[in-house]
A and B are shown apart, each in its own frame.
Chain A
Amino acid sequence: MEQAFKNISACQLMDCGCMDYKQTYAIQKKCVEETLQGADPTIMICEHPLVLTMGRLSKEENILCSQDTLQKRNIEVIRVDRGGQVTLHAPGQMMVYPILDLRKYKKDLKYYFRILEQVGIDLLNCFDILGSRLSGKTGVFVGDKKLISIGIGIRKWISFHGMAINVNTDLELFSMIKPCGLDVSMTSMSQIKQRQIHMSEVKTRLIDCFCRRFGLVIQQEVGVK
């Protein structure tokens, strides 16, 4: 897989820790505006408390549990302006939200997906996990199980939303939804390795894999905006 870049560019890293989904969404929107004005791209990394998000193509029937259950467990369902269908975020799942000016790479949505997938495959390879693509499906799979989901938004060719990596995610939670509208089983790095994976190590490796594929170098780590 080729590199996506021609020249190395500076970028900023924002580690949001475990943060409410709506809060990170607001930060992404702010970063998109700043990137449109010429600011360096941003890589946001975070986890979310349990939440369901519905992309533009989501169907209600892909949420398999009742409203009552959602209310009792205090699980919010949020409609968002990304592609894809319903997905779930929870602690133990590492989110990466790249705010990149894709005009500096290639104005090609599928190309962007393929590079994101390659970052995921590279990351899994660091942990001796063989990730791969499945024809006709976006994301990274191990065998026929999905480990990394991707859904993006683009505004004036600035990317937002991104990639969800199941590191130590409680996989039982996925019984609440039909992930991405697919009849697919989900897996996680911890399920495959049969041990808890250090999130800090995943984060370090992920940033490294991401920067290599996108030709970025972390210029500064910025606080939450």
Chain B
Amino acid sequence: MKQVVLPELGEGIETATIAAWNVKKGDLVKKEDDIVELVTDKASFSVSAGFDGRVIELQFQEGEEVAIGETLAVIDEENKKGFL
């Protein structure tokens, strides 16, 4: 299992808010896919999956606040049935 975490966004930025998920639980993703869009007060940004595999957990809902370093999603690298 691989965890997708909210990366460092710069000095003094400690949290961001989930604006929209681009995937749902059970989806197959490629590492370069942008799986979620987050927002700070003046910037929106996307976070990539980082791993090929199947999304097995989305840890936050849209509108929820996430701290830097927290897990956004969990991806199962072994479960790629149906992967193109």
Interface positions of A (Cβ within 8 A of B)? 55-57, 81-84, 106-113, 138, 150-156
Contact = CB atoms under 8 A, between A and B. Distances in A.
Nearest to A151: B42
A153 B43 CA distance: 5
Given A108-B10, A111-B10, A153 B45 contact: yes
B10 A110 contact: yes
Interface in B5-55: 8-13, 17, 19, 34, 37, 39-46, 48
B46 A156 contact: yes
Contacts, number: 65
Contacts of B37: 56, 81
Contacts of A113: 42-43
Nearest to B12: A110
Contacts of A83: 39-44
A107 B10 contact: yes
Contacts of B12: 110
B8 to A, nearest CB: 7
Contacts of A154: 43-46
Contacts of B40: 83, 109
B11 to A, nearest CB: 6
A1 to B, nearest CB: 15
A109 B10 contact: yes
Contact of B44 (A81, A106, A107): A81
